[in-house]
Amino acid sequence: MPMAKSKKLQVLTHEEGLILAAIADRIFPKTDTPGAVEIGAVNYIDVALAGDYAALAPLYSQGLRAINRYARSEFHKTFLQLTEAEKEAVLRACEAGALASFKPAAEFFETLRYHVLEGVFCEPQYGGNKDMTGWRLVDFPGQQFGYADAYIDKRVDLEPISVDYRKAEEK
């Protein structure tokens, strides 16, 4: 699974980024709508690991390496070379905490899954939710200043808006 074109990774190595993209693609796959990779979840996670989630960078490096090791031990291939069914088996083992060489496997998987979803639905300024695609998938209109009475107890069909802090700072 190639990574979507994005900025150069800041924390993750190229191989870690590819493995993360393959995992993100399993967690939130592309269907008739964009998936996590296209929406920018990998970029979001890398940006977060360079900033607010910096303390989790070692967990990511260790976890992604452990997933690759487990794939080699079980299937004699790297994670990226596995079939979709084999990737699913490796990720299920990780989610269950069954990677003997990596005790916090279940914690890592839950953290990674949560971060992938954050990357799909976050405020775009944090590096994910490219073009507010995640919001469009769930009809979330973003940071609106308010809603007209016509939207009370009704579905909101407004175009999403992202916060632009640069404009706010200029005032």
Query: Percentage of the chain with pLDDT > 70?
Result: 82
Domain-embedded: residue 170: no
Does the structure show a pLDDT above 60 at 147?
A: no
Strand, helix or coil for residue 7: coil
Domain-embedded: residue 152: no
Per-residue pLDDT, averaged over 119-129, amounts to: 93
Domain-embedded: residue 75: yes
Give the structural domain span for 87. Answer: 14-140
Domain-embedded: residue 161: no
Cβ atoms within 10 A of the Cβ of 100, count? 12
Q: Tokens 């269907």 appear where?
A: 31
Domain-embedded: residue 167: no
How much is the pTM?
Answer: 0.83
Give 60-104 pLDDT, tens digit per residue.
Answer: 999 999 999 999 999 999 999 999 999 999 999 999 999 999 999
Domain-embedded: residue 4: no
Say how many domains are in the chain: 1
Domain-embedded: residue 58: yes
Structure confidence at residue 36 as a pLDDT band (50, 70, 90): very high
Cα torsion angle, 4, 31, 76, 19, sign: positive
Domain-embedded: residue 103: yes
Query: Percentage of the chain with pLDDT > 90?
Result: 73
| Residue of 40, 54, 99 lying closest to 74 (CA atoms) | 99
